A and B are shown apart, each in its own frame.
Chain A
């Protein structure tokens, strides 16, 4: 793990890393460990599935996750290349709003996709009936939800790495394809690995998409079994044993893919178009992405637009405000914990400490969200009055769930900061704190903005933690949407969903603006 110029002379990064680790233990390790310890002594009850079916579930869970993550990667990397290599109208819009699919509540995504591709959908009606249900639907849903991870990570990396070697190679006569595979791809590999592992694990714990777009119990993930164990049977001993399988798989993935050392130092320069993809490719990719992402979102907008006249705006405004508060809190919590963690994992010492921090921060992605929330419920079982109605516990849970995503984003960002800058600044007498605040953080502005957007998008569409921890009278927008649907008021629910969409879009837009202003102020 160790590379020259990485370790700081001052103990600051280590101290920051250790204190963030303490916070991490409090919000993640304690609830999960208390659940595990409590469950280990009890034997699990009889499972409501047969052994043969369980083996099938295991195979399907990880098989579909692999295919989904690879396909999302192809689409996401393609989109990132288009974004970084081309200048076209709507380019910035695409970039800023591209996390929208990732942020929307999954039920809305599923209904949106079915509104377009279902057998009575805008486009699906021209296809053979029922074609979508099964593998095509599951893959479509997962690519829709996961390609933004690749687009954002790879796009940010391409925007922050230096492109001189490619220019040199091209001017020396290398073919564009050769140049891409030998130079560019190698430099964005860490981001691709990160996005791959994250999207693989998200798809492996997919629940609603797999059931609803799969169409039947043939398509069942391990998460469905965990849901049964946690919520229906309330057999925590069984749930913990199932979750252990998930943890082992993601532990293996982490060791295989994410434990890589920092990259060598690079000088920075502005990125510029290198691969002049032909207009035909651009058009094809544009049409593909529009069909995949644009149309379902337009579908939701149209559907929502129909009921704008009949909405209760007083309730909606309150719910929107509540969502906003919760989102910002979750974001603040997530970044507040992740930034020192990532910094410690980058500059702390010794090397083993850095590796441990990295492993710890990735761990939440390997544990089912259901298990984390039920861990909190068990831990706080007698303290309901203490937290009901307060936003803080929901924000903490959401922030913890988003932690691996934000951590990976920041860690990759820190690695892109040219390693030579630190020793250079230090030799001129700058303190570690000065280097962090005046050199490293400003260089990470896009990455920080991305981390913010990611944490925010996690929180804005999330309902599980909200349902568990928030009181009855302070519902967030997604919770209100679900309540409306639960009471037959689907058209009102779509109207509220449009509002949520607009809110998310303007937040993402605003954060994009902030990032950009900063770029301009710097240059």
Chain B
């Protein structure tokens, strides 16, 4: 019995032990950043991220270190991943916009409704829709059990049905963005999009480090992208970092 308790104890607190390890690495990376060793700091942040664990703050600091190392594309990718975890963090938005302003050339644009949707994460939209959905059906069930309450519940039921439709639509749109509209961030200098997915294809247009492009297709180690100006070309996967649409 004592062994079982010991095992359960270890199982429960194992997560905290790993978190403590990451915390020391995180602090060490912060110190490197403070000393101006941005590239080393970025490597240490990346080491934590390679474990599969991430947090908005970790990605934020990683983005800062990559930006200070001159890697605009990797910085933008990190800030965008941080924004997915914490979409209402003003510091992440500020740094993301700052780095985007350093990028040359065209890039994809985002419209108003997409910005509005991005105020919440996909999971937050899903949870809101689920709550509205549950409350709606609980109210409908209550009306069946207590018909006398039906007149009183009519107004609030209508509100929750509307909220369910609204949140459900938002979740659906966000999910469509997430799963079908990937974007690519250029992480290499002087990349040139080709007219076809092979090395000997003609040059289509140049793209700069940090440019954000929409992904249209994928073929072997090549992806088809389009920029904000409607140009279409193919890039090698090693030249970009792929991000979900939302």
* B is a partner of A: no
